[in-house]
Amino acid sequence: MVKLYIFYQLVPYFTAQRAVLHHILIHFTAQRAVLHHILIHFAAQRAVLLNANILKFCSKCGHEVTLKPVPDDHRPRYVCDNCETIHYQNPNIVTGALPIWEDKVMLCKRGIEPRKGYWNVPGGYMENGETVEAGAIREVYEETLSKITITSLHMVYSIPRINQVYMHFLADLQALDYQLTPESTEIKLFTEEEIPWDDIAFPSSKFTLKRYFEDRKKGIRQVHLGKFEW
């Protein structure tokens, strides 16, 4: 194609040869444009299929839904064949906090799947009707029955493949008062040297711990942006 285009450039204007080449090139360019659009279409569909729950029925009227393009939108959506409701799907926030007590941080051994038995920064899905901070306080309480005071935002960490955004805060433990819960089979305060690095449940927690100890050495606090892709 490129060679043909270079050759075409060399052919003198207003000749039959050039006119023929011109038509051939336009033909290929148009084909390429069409192909390009088809690929974009499939890429968008693949993105939606990879990154969304598959919906079959409309939650409003119960009729079947179809994944299809929507006017003025950049990606296909599930649309109800009957009432035309568009069912958007968006990432979820996992909110949590690293409870701090003197030179130690609190981790919980997960009592539930996924990653049961691994150590984690307490956190969970943010709920409707709460702020990110309130969600973090609630999650820490649910997992450890301990009360915290949030002192700063520590990280925002995206995991595009599974549509999650982690937000971890740094927090002071209000008292050395915590209890096991169905969500945590063990709760422990760790110094930096004691952190069980090989048994940390999720990359987001490793990210939070590493950055926290680095910052502490430098005597600073900052918000870290991160992501996990594979």
Residues in contact with a second copy by the rule CB under 8 A: 47-48, 50-53, 55-62, 64-65, 72, 74-75, 87-93, 125-134, 142, 153, 156, 158, 160-161, 163, 165, 167, 182, 223, 225, 227
CB of 21 to a second copy, least distance (A): 33
186 half-sphere exposure, CB direction, 13 A CA radius? 9
Q: Decide if 79 contacts 88 (C-beta within 8 A).
A: no
CB of 187 to a second copy, least distance (A): 18
Q: Decide if 154 contacts 216 (C-beta within 8 A).
A: no
Kindly tell me which of 66 and 131 has the beta carbon lying closer to a second copy.
Answer: 131
CB of 59 to a second copy, least distance (A): 5
User: Position of tokens 């008292």?
Assistant: 175
Count CB neighbours of 177 within 10 A: 10
- Nearest CA among 134, 147, 139 for reference residue 121: 139
CB of 134 to a second copy, least distance (A): 8
Q: Decide if 229 contacts 161 (C-beta within 8 A).
A: yes
CB of 91 to a second copy, least distance (A): 6
Count CB neighbours of 158 within 10 A: 16
CB of 126 to a second copy, least distance (A): 6
Kindly tell me which of 29 and 131 has the beta carbon lying closer to a second copy.
Answer: 131
Kindly tell me which of 21 and 157 has the beta carbon lying closer to a second copy.
Answer: 157
Kindly tell me which of 51 and 185 has the beta carbon lying closer to a second copy.
Answer: 51
Count CB neighbours of 108 within 10 A: 25
